[in-house]
Chain A
Amino acid sequence: MNTIRKFAGIIWLALGVFAGYFSITSIGLPKFASGLAGNQSDMVFGIIMLFILTPLIVGSLLIFGYYALTGEYTRNNDDTTTGNTGS
């Protein structure tokens, strides 16, 4: 199971890149461009996509994927805790 957890990290990294590409090129930039041409609603939506949603989605998926790949989420079979004691 730990092997799956580690290698699934590649999927999260890829998903982060894909999500970033899709949200910037398919939604964010076209909407922002339309906003610059005078469509107020598109401007708002474009800004939200480019500067809020995209960095959050991409950033969290990339860091999570990296942590997964480097084994941060592996655990022992007898480990019954989440392991977080704030240490």
Chain B
Amino acid sequence: MSGNNSGIRKVIGASSVGTMIEWYDFYLFGSLAPLISTKFFPQENPTAAFLSTLATFAAGFVVRPFGALFFGRLGDLVGRKYTFMMTLVLMGGATFLIGCVPGYDTIGFLAPLIVLLLRLLQGLALGGEYGGAATYVAEHAPADRRGYWTSWIQTTATAGLFISLIVIMTTKSAMNEGDFNDWGWRIPFWISILMIGVSYLIRRNMHESPLFAKAKAEGKIATNPLKESFGNKYNFKFVLLALLGATMGQGVIWYTGHYYAMSFLKTDCKVDALQVEEMMTWAFVFGTPFFVFFGWLSDKIGRKKVMLAGMLIAVFSYFPIYRAMYDVAGNGKRTEIAEKTTVEVKRAADKDNPKDTVLTTITHKEFTDGAVYNETQTTVKLADISKEAPKPRVKAATVLPSSAFWTLIGFIFIQVIFVTMVYGPIAAFLVELFPTKIRYTSMSLPYHIGNGVFGGLMPAVATYLTTTAKGTATATGSSDWYLQGIWYPVIIVSVSFIIGLLYINGKDKHIND
């Protein structure tokens, strides 16, 4: 038994490290999106530049299902091992190259075009990676511990995001802000090539999945996995069930806990960005072991019970949690220490148009609870008064006191627990839903549509709902505009819960078919 455990640990280690690095590569771009936008997209309009990057981000998610189809088919035809080796190299190469592309200032329109193409390649690679790793591990694991062993693969998405934040924060702290914004942001992308190299060497020595190898030896592999997965009604209904009853809700919960919480604190609560990243990091550290716990629990009481419990609790908890987060962040409810408020105004000639004047107003406020508010407002005064001056740019953030800092970590941690409940058992659940010959293809597509499309677009849809509500808040007198984005996860997860409850059987642990 210990020999078996040693073997499966090697399989888990090699699979998980590679998958985690792929997630690291993928999330690096998202985490650095605001900065990347100023480098690769026209800088005249910062909002447009940022949204262009978001569009690129979404493109990364939208192509994930295509990666799932392309590499899933390959994995069911050629084998799991070779396919996820390919995705690893593709991802590492694309990430490294993003860090090498000259900016828009240097090569013009080619810069955003190349970055967009590389981003698409990242999406394709990620689409192929997860299904391969999950299938590979599951096909090595004993039936009674499949949830436990595959849950290690489930930790990799959070771990990848966690490491990307750590690498970014470390790089930022190792240099001044100007250098980081100028060229330092490229370092995390370059580091990827080293990680991928190590992971490639580890994976190279692994054997093919025993179930796939057996099926291939017996001539039982699919001749057309795409047709057998989606053209066959009998199998397609399970693909739909996996999507609507599991991965759709799971994907939205993942993105709510990982990305929307971060965006909400930065954008709606105006909490200092670095402090928010620290909060997320702590919540991930405390929460990640629970992936394995809930994977283990799913072996004992069933995948369905654990996943649906996570969805149900999330649906009823999101509104109270986000209302509490907003209150703890102290928006408009603090007592200012008036004598500590300082306002400094700097006047300088505009670098691009020396006749124009740039006014920078720096406001510093302190509050009785220890919070510190800093605001920088930049206004351009045009020499030619007949022209319309650009709108002032305001950069504001609050550094929270320790008590609020740890309370918010607690709220993020609770959301990470929801993630671990729905995400920990899902690889085992998906693997058990489909037969060996089309497993890679069949499980990859619902996973990536659920996560990539429903989940990946969650921040964009929620931000849109919040922004729209904020715009009409004055007219309608609504004071809870900041909660409107939560309707998206609540509705989607509710639908997924009901479908899962009614239609998923979840008693099958047989995968040798």
Contact = CB atoms under 8 A, between A and B. Distances in A.
Say if A and B assemble together.
Answer: yes
Say whether chain B's binding surface is mostly helix, strand, loop, or mixed: helix
Contact of A73 (B55, B237, B498): B237
Contacts of B228: 86
Contacts of B62: 48, 52
A84 B502 contact: no
A60 B505 CA distance: 20
Interface stretch (B273-281, B325-333, B432-440, B476-484): B432-440
Contacts of A82: 238, 432-433, 504-508
A60 B454 CA distance: 12
A81 B510 contact: yes
Interface in B187-244: 228, 232-235, 237-238, 240-241, 243-244
Please classify how large the interface on chain B is, using the bins under 10, 10 to 19, 20 to 34, 35 or more. 35 or more
Interface stretch (B30-38, B45-53, B107-115, B254-262): B45-53
A45 B460 contact: yes
B434 A84 contact: yes
B46 to A, nearest CB: 12
Contact of B507 (A61, A72, A81): A81
A36 interface: no
B48 A48 contact: no
Contact of B437 (A5, A60, A79, A86): A86
B495 A72 contact: no
Contacts of A68: 503
Contact of A40 (B52, B232, B233, B504): B52
B58 A56 contact: no
A69 B284 CA distance: 42
Contact of A84 (B238, B243, B457, B498): B238
Contact of B502 (A4, A41, A44, A79): A4
Contacts of B460: 45, 48
Nearest to B55: A44
Given A44-B58, A45-B464, 10 more contacts: A4-B502, A45-B460, A48-B457, A64-B237, A68-B503, A79-B505, A83-B505, A84-B434, A86-B235, A86-B434
9 tightest Cβ-Cβ pairs between the two chains A and B = A86-B435, A41-B51, A81-B508, A82-B508, A44-B55, A80-B507, A64-B240, A84-B238, A73-B503
12 contacts: A8-B498, A52-B62, A60-B244, A61-B244, A68-B503, A73-B503, A80-B505, A81-B510, A82-B505, A84-B235, A86-B232, A87-B234
